[in-house]
């Protein structure tokens, strides 16, 4: 009878499934049943990566270096006795490449605001692995809640300008699963919009009427005043 092995178990013993560039990870592959020697082969998307022989019941350890995006994806291992033509496959482990985020940009469609007005602020990082978590703040005070975006889109908050104290400097920060990668945005300030006085339209109207009177008087001089002087000579 051919010597058979049990389905091996693939375990991550060093590193994480969320990996960064140039990171080392180690995988362990072991079939608990089956007479040694056992040949273990590591596959990535059905392509052979490496193979090791074990003459005892110790796991085969595969160390990988994530040097490009092609190194991430689904991995499996295969165990087979050297004298058999069959083999058993393990569970799969999938590595995901995480990338640092870029500096977020804080913006608003309204550069000016006045008291009693609703305004919006948006924060967006163009690059970086999803999800990305954004947090807005004014000065050193956080503006809850923080927003976690699963898609490549801006986080938006709505503000109500209630008093002059709401015209301070706003910022936002962004982070993702990349370690030690919190980035802060530029500062954004709303400028106070000048409120027109109710008397301004009246003043403008009176000025226009006075201007028209002056023009009318100037036009009337040749017709009334000059003939009067000629008649008196």
Contacting residues for 50 by C-beta, under 8 A, at least 6 apart = 41, 42, 62
Tell me the C-alpha distance between 30 and 77, whole Å. 9
pLDDT tens-place string over residues 97-120: 999 999 999 999 988 888 889 999
pLDDT tens-place string over residues 17-43: 999 999 999 999 999 887 888 999 999
Tell me the C-alpha distance between 226 and 219, whole Å. 12
The distance from CA 201 to its chain's CA centroid, rounded to whole angstroms, is 47
Most confident of 2-6, 8-12, 85-89, 137-141: 8-12
Instruction: Specify the CATH number of the domain 105-192.
Output: 2.60.40.10
Which of these CATH numbers, 2.60.40.10, 2.10.240.10, 3.40.190.80, 3.40.50.20, describes 9-97?
A: 2.60.40.10
**Which residue bears the tokens 């990870």?**
25
Residue ranges covered by each domain of the chain: 9-97, 105-192
Tokens of 3: 């010597």
């Amino acid at each position: 009878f051919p010597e058979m092995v049990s389905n091996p178990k693939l375990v991550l013993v060093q590193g994480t499934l969320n990996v960064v560039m140039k990171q080392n990870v180690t995988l362990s592959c072991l079939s608990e049943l089956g007479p040694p020697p056992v040949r273990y082969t590591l596959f990535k998307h059905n392509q052979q990566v490496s193979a090791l022989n074990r003459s005892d019941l110790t796991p085969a350890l595969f160390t990988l270096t994530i040097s490009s995006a092609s190194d991430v994806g689904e991995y499996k291992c295969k165990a087979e006795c050297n004298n058999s033509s069959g083999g058993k496959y393990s569970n799969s482990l999938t590595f995901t490449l995480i990338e640092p985020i870029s500096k977020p940009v804080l913006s608003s469609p309204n550069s000016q605001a006045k008291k009693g007005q609703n305004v919006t602020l948006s924060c967006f990082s163009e690059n970086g692995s999803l999800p990305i978590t954004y947090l807005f703040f004014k000065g050193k005070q956080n503006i809850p809640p923080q927003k976690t975006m699963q898609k490549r889109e801006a986080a938006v908050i709505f503000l109500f300008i209630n008093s002059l104290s709401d015209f301070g400097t706003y910022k936002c920060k962004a982070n993702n699963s990349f370690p030690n990668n919190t980035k802060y945005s530029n500062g954004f300030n709303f400028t106070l919009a000048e409120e027109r006085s109710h008397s301004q339209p009246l003043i403008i109207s009176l000025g226009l009427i006075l201007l028209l009177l002056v023009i009318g008087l100037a036009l009337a001089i040749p017709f009334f005043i000059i003939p009067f002087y000629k008649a008196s000579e």
